[in-house]
Amino acid sequence: MARPITLFTGQWADLPFEEVCKLAGEWGYDGLEIACWGDHFEVDRALAEDGYIESRREILDRHGLKVWAISNHLVGQAVCDDPIDQRHQDILPPAVWGDGDPEGVRQRAAERMADTARAAAKLGVKTVIGFTGSAIWKYVAMFPPVSDAVIQEGYADFARRWNPILDVFDEVGVKFAHEVHPSEIAYDYWTTVATLEAIGHREAFGLNWDPSHMVWQDLDPAAFIWDFKDRIYHVDCKDARKRIGNGRNGRLSSHLPWSDPRRGWDFVSTGHGDVPWEDCFRTLNAIGYDGPISIEWEDAGMDRLVGAPGALEYVRALNFDKPEAAFDAAFSSSSTTD
């Protein structure tokens, strides 16, 4: 199967694209999952400037790297979010933020996500990873009481805003892989079911499997792969470690910063947390997933220059193929001799 192993550049966007490519190439990565922020991949320039796509490819080629997917989480977040506030201004391109009028921000974000599909097609990749935002995440605690009608309207709002975007994805032959993640429309098993139902299970919309967001919710990440096997369009390897059970640290982490020992969980570099990685890779083999395995480094307690190459070594050891024949085939009478 020889699935390529890539590095997601989102947590490296403070560095120039050329420098990230140099590091990834020296470490032995096969390619990048390129973030659409920093100077790594600028959607507006990709569509407007002659030679921009070629310049990205030239840098990748020079460092022996390929690209199978791009990611636009930050803009996607603003498509459905309510409220739209300072947090969004901090992460959005100025042209998407505009005057900050919330509905205007949502509409411009939707336009930029449609353009992201067009830019991906121009780059020659078939998958865009990202977030959707959510009008109903703010109701997750369900108090003050929230009616089912309000929740269902949240899924309907998602469908109204994303179906036109997905129409463009269909037009250009690209698929969207939503990262199941708290604060999005789909953040666990049942919300993923509801999200797929809201858009009629259309093929343009699938999932980016990232188990780090599942383990601290006590979801089984391997079972999630199996249950949504027809929708796993991309894989991100990020880990999480729980510190729940001492009677103090809670699952919601108490508004404490990353790596604070009072938190109930933290993101950690791949292989240093509670994700059952071997079970997950065996399940990826079972569903026949042959796309890229992208390492996403997030660890407030480990330097990324240590974490990224270490994660690559860890994942390469797990990225094994299924056997060509069943082990018990050797017991068949047709394969034995007297």
Residue 328 has pLDDT above 80, yes or no: no
Give one DSSP letter per residue of 222-251, joined into a string.
Answer: HHHHHHTTTTEEEEEE-EEEE---SSS--T
In this prediction, residues 91-104 reach a mean pLDDT of: 98
- In-domain check, residue 335: no
- Regarding beta strands 239-242 and 265-268, do their DSSP bridges make them parallel or antiparallel, or are they unpaired? antiparallel
For residue range 270-289, list pLDDT tens digits in order. 999 999 999 999 999 999 99
Residue 337 has pLDDT above 70, yes or no: no
If one counts the domains in the chain, the total is: 1
| Predicted pLDDT at 24 | 98
Q: Which of 26-30, 186-190, 276-280, 330-334 has the lowest mean pLDDT?
A: 330-334
Q: How confident is the model at residue 322 (pLDDT cuts 50, 70, 90)?
A: confident
Query: What is the Cβ-side half-sphere exposure of residue 83, based on CA atoms within 13 angstroms?
Result: 5
Residues of the domain holding 165: 5-328
| Predicted pLDDT at 336 | 55
| Predicted pLDDT at 36 | 98
| Predicted pLDDT at 323 | 77
Place of tokens 């060509």: 324
Spatial contact of 178 and 186, defined as CB atoms under 8 Å apart: yes
For residue range 3-58, list pLDDT tens digits in order. 999 999 999 999 999 999 999 999 999 999 999 999 999 999 999 999 999 999 99
Q: What's the pTM?
A: 0.95
CATH of the domain at 41: 3.20.20.150
3-state class percentages of the chain: helix first, strand second, coil last, to nearest 5: 45, 15, 40
Measured distance CA(181)–CA(199) in Å, rounded: 18
- In-domain check, residue 336: no
| Predicted pLDDT at 2 | 79
In this prediction, residues 314-328 reach a mean pLDDT of: 82
| Predicted pLDDT at 224 | 98
- In-domain check, residue 288: yes
- In-domain check, residue 94: yes
Residue 324 has pLDDT above 90, yes or no: no
Q: Encode 82-145 in three state secondary structure.
A: CCCCHHHHHHCCHHHHCCCCHHHHHHHHHHHHHHHHHHHHHHCCCEEEECCCCCCHHHCCCCCC
| Predicted pLDDT at 335 | 56
- In-domain check, residue 337: no
| Predicted pLDDT at 74 | 98
Mean pLDDT for the chain overall: 96
